[in-house]
Structure 1
Amino acid sequence: MDWNALGELARQRAQTPFQPVGDKLPEDLAALDYDQMRDIRFRTERSLWRDQSLPFEAQFFHLGLYQKRAVRLHELAPEGVTDLPYRSADYDIGRNTVDPQAWGDLGHAGFRLHYPLNNPAYKDELVVFLGASYFRALGAGQQYGLSARGLAIDTVGGQGEEFPRFTDFWLQRPAPGATEVTVLALLDSPRASGAYRFVIRPGASTTMTVTSRLFLRAGAGPVNTLGLAPLTSMFLHGENQPNNNDFRPEVHDSDGLMMHTGDGEWLWRPLQNPAQISVSSFTMRQPRGFGLMQRDRRFASYEDIEARYERRPSAWVRPLGDWGAGRVELVQLRTPDETHDNIVAYWVPATLPAPGQPLDFAYELSWQGEAQQTPPGAWVVQSRRGYGYTKLSASEQQRQPQFVLDFAGPALEALPADAAVRAVASADANGRIVEALAYPNPTQRGWRVTLRVERLDPARPVELRVFLQHQNNTLSETWTHAVLPE
């Protein structure tokens, strides 16, 4: 099994009708509830590669409850390919009274890789592949937050979202002393199939080099939105959208979408929890990067001792090669609480391949903590909406919302306090900029912008853009925001 052989498997699948994987489980296993399933744990001493004292180890997840479709796992080693079947002895079933030996070879729900990420004496959980095409990873000092996916189909624009899933994995045995590990995967869905290779390098920012070859399935119907390198996260409330009923100032896995366009512009889009679905598109050629970021790393911003949102990673996608023309699409859904992911971002190519023809793309995916990708000049560190003391009436404040933005970064730190910094603000046809003031913020060693906009039709959104300028030089990224209908 190598990359060419995997690509050929994906091509062959795309030439045949889709065959769904069954989800029927043994009755006693299917009857276990959430807490009972949590009591079934993989035995650490049976981890793959543990007996060989290799730097990476693999453990498997048990089927049940939410994970009902098995994946096939294999080890890829110099001596050949070996199947990794389900073995009931690998699991401690805890206080459950079921009989796993009667289940036969169930298969696995997924797997996770371990590596001494934070302490050389202990192998931390590094990356998880579990459920559809979802996966997520950690860098040093981080705590799980947002997820990535292999592919998203018709998240919007179709007759309902299709969730492709990884059906087969090949775990390549690492060499002694290895600092990276490789996973091959085969993806399948009613309208697409694909081959994937993940080269995973743990560190302060764990990085993955993802290589993919996709095929649209012949005769399976058109794809309206093909989402490449999709990211999925949660935003409940934050500084730009506070919740007075929650003791926590902010609750989110990500606070904004950052983009680096092919023209070199940096964009920052604060996330929202909308009353109804909100879809934003950013058209560009040859994107240089995009990601769902958790910029705010202060515990005081969240005050959640258990969730520790300040430790949630940011995920930055850096395209490798020419991705051509297309768009970054941001989908925001309403969520009532933090248990539901409601944010999706992905790249949509302008041109899709014909059925049976390959679509090759690659990217580097970085799971970042304190050391994050930022624009070279200055960036937004706070986005707040509202007024302090004002003589405007409540209806005037509603008609003319005010935003207070803090920018920071080396380009601003290098300026004297009396520098002539200007806020360049614009709105679409449904908005009129009433006020855009920029002035120093010594607490951030940066600049603050106060922006007031008049909404002409309150039933329609308003698109806003603001960046800082000094002597015709652009200093900062562009803050881009949608004022949604009330």
Structure 2
Amino acid sequence: MKLKLFIAAIISSSMSLHAAHAQGNAKFTFEDLKAMAKASAEKPYTPTVVPAPELIDKITYDQHWKIRFKEDETLYPNGKNAPVQLFYPGRYFPEPVKIYIRDDKKHAQDVPFSNELFDMPADSPAHDLPKGFGFAGFRIMRPDMKPDWISFLGASYFRTDGPQGQYGLSARGIAINTGMSEPEEFPRFSAFWIGPAEKKGESLSVWALLDGPSITGAYRFGLAKDNKEAKGHITSVTANLYMRADVERLGVAPLTSMYWYSQKDKTVAKDWRPEIHDSDGLAIHTGSGQYIWRPLNNPQSVSTNSFFDENPQGFGLIQRDRDFDNYQDDGVFYNKRSSAWIKPEGNWGKGAIQLIEIPTKDETFDNIVAYWVPEKPARKGDEFTFSYDIEWRPLDPKSEKLASVADTRQGLGGIPGQPIPEGVNKMVIDFEGPALEGLDHKSGIKPIVEASNGEILEPIGAYPIVGTNKWRLAFDYKQSNNNPVHIRAYLVDKNEDAITETWVSDAKVTIE
């Protein structure tokens, strides 16, 4: 199918802005996109109309994945190394998205939607979809049409398959009022421009228009595959945000993942697999240089944790446990799920890295969100610019001087063979890394364990694990009330200098 210039009418008010711009084969630049987003923010929000919503609802999850973009219709904005295929709309992706191709001279052309671009089963309800609808998103294939490695699909979500070729956690363009009592807002990318890479080492450049009731945005994505330094893919993001209304909680560079249970709290579920999670912890490298590890929880009610900081050096949702034996899942391979590390560009000022944990009873819903919240309130008429890299890595970048948390386990308190104390749990934390090599009982290593809303019980043990290079920190704790105990723990050497990252957790006595 040959591309033709965009002349069709566009459904939403925000999309009409870029409709006029794209006519006449005009040049399209990031400055143009920023002007579109800013102008849209000055007008009332108009929800996108979904033509034939009853019909779209019939395209279920299973039926949606049976509809495939035809290989001979594949788009090549940057040659054969980055083939682009488009997604069909469906029940979970009903709102139409415009797709443009930008050439090396910065001219933009629309890709008209048509059922003829797709292969679908004879009995698919998609055959009855009215003409001129719209795509749901796109994905980028490997050369020779091998599996895709990045996709943009639904609201402002996007994700990669990471260094081991297994999709898991996702990123988003923005998070609005996540984890609050009022309904969360989900702005969406209403249009994408896909073109040749602007920077060395990237496969493609993508520009996106964000639109929502409280915000608009102009985004530029640089998409790089198989970066040697990160040992995975890198998505470079520049986000220019324009506030259409006041927002109480603006979440920048949000990551979304799933955590059901792990070795720490496997009593939460009765599934046959030992662990089920896309990520097992939040890692933070603060502006002052501190390294923090916060193991994830599946709480009984929505939990919000804020880590206040200034100019953070990085944070991410990480899958540190890479041992297949700890999952035993040979279908979706949780041991291969990618980690995602946010690396800010420039100074982000004061704010907080916020972690939202939502209860879940299975593995089908994402229940973990992490993002940066600026200290400055987001008010109508405000403008923000944030630039950052998302490194889709096997693990988070480690400190060269500090040992890292390898495992966290929780169980009954007390001493084996003696009566089990009531209302007491034991926490066991294992550390590993070069900083611990050669240390033994005579090295003067001391544990530092602090708690609020609870009590740490003596004795506190810190010792090398026989036959390994790891050290173990173990202690009992109890709660003061029904709220979790906030605990900080790490190891120091004989000079009182930290030799491990800081382990933090909101722990509850849960095992009876």
Return the TM-score normalized by structure 1. 0.92
Is 1:192 the counterpart of 2:215? The answer is yes
Structure 1 match to 2:73: 46
**Any residues of structure 2 matched to 1:312-331 within 5 Å, and which?**
312-331=337-356
Shift of 1:142: 2.8
Aligned AA (1:402):
K
The structure 1 segments of at least 4 consecutive aligned residues displaced by more than 6 Å after TM superposition are 175-178
Cα-to-partner distance string for 1:427-455 (whole Å, 9 max, x where unaligned): 01433443321100144412011121232
Shift of 1:138: 2.3
Structure 2 match to 1:232: 256
Structure 2 match to 1:341: 366
Distance in 1 between residues matched to 2:375 and 2:45, nearest whole Å: 26
Aligned AA (1:410):
P
Distance in 1 between residues matched to 2:387 and 2:90, nearest whole Å: 33
Cα-to-partner distance string for 1:149-175 (whole Å, 9 max, x where unaligned): 000011134522111111111001359
Structure 1 residues 444 and 247: CA distance shift in structure 2, 3 A: farther
Is 1:419 the counterpart of 2:446? The answer is no
Cα-to-partner distance string for 1:10-39 (whole Å, 9 max, x where unaligned): 111110000111123375554333333322
Cα-to-partner distance string for 1:51-109 (whole Å, 9 max, x where unaligned): x8521011111112211101111011134110012121210012325574862121101
Structure 1 match to 2:471: 447
Structure 1 residues 24 and 358: CA distance shift in structure 2, 3 A: same
Distance in 2 between residues matched to 1:265 and 1:299, nearest whole Å: 31
Aligned AA (2:81):
P
Structure 2 match to 1:164: 187
Bigger mean CA offset, 301-310 vs 62-71? 62-71
Structure 2 match to 1:56: 82
The answer (yes or no) to whether the contact 1:249–1:301 under 8 Å persists in 2 is yes
**Any residues of structure 2 matched to 1:233-382 within 5 Å, and which?**
233-243=257-267, 245-369=270-394, 372-376=396-400, 377-382=402-407
The answer (yes or no) to whether the contact 1:427–1:433 under 8 Å persists in 2 is no
Give the total of aligned pairs: 474
SS of 1:95's equivalent? coil
Distance in 1 between residues matched to 2:174 and 2:224, nearest whole Å: 21
Shift of 1:286: 0.9
Structure 1 residues 250 and 97: CA distance shift in structure 2, 3 A: closer
Distance in 2 between residues matched to 1:178 and 1:400, nearest whole Å: 53
Structure 1 residue runs without a partner (length 5+): none
Is 1:478 the counterpart of 2:502? The answer is yes
SS of 2:260's equivalent? strand
Distance in 1 between residues matched to 2:192 and 2:278, nearest whole Å: 28
Distance in 1 between residues matched to 2:354 and 2:213, nearest whole Å: 23
Shift of 1:419: 2.0
Bigger mean CA offset, 290-299 vs 165-174? 165-174
Is 1:114 the counterpart of 2:138? The answer is no
The answer (yes or no) to whether the contact 1:115–1:124 under 8 Å persists in 2 is yes
Structure 1 match to 2:99: 73
Aligned AA (1:293):
I
**Any residues of structure 2 matched to 1:397-416 within 5 Å, and which?**
398-416=422-440
Aligned AA (1:12):
A
The alignment's C-alpha RMSD in Å is 2.2
Structure 1 residues 480 and 102: CA distance shift in structure 2, 3 A: closer
Structure 2 residue runs without a partner (length 5+): 1-27
**Any residues of structure 2 matched to 1:207-226 within 5 Å, and which?**
207-217=234-244, 220=245, 222-226=246-250
Distance in 1 between residues matched to 2:41 and 2:492, nearest whole Å: 51
Distance in 1 between residues matched to 2:182 and 2:198, nearest whole Å: 46
The answer (yes or no) to whether the contact 1:25–1:68 under 8 Å persists in 2 is no
Distance in 2 between residues matched to 1:367 and 1:444, nearest whole Å: 29
Structure 1 residues 442 and 373: CA distance shift in structure 2, 3 A: farther
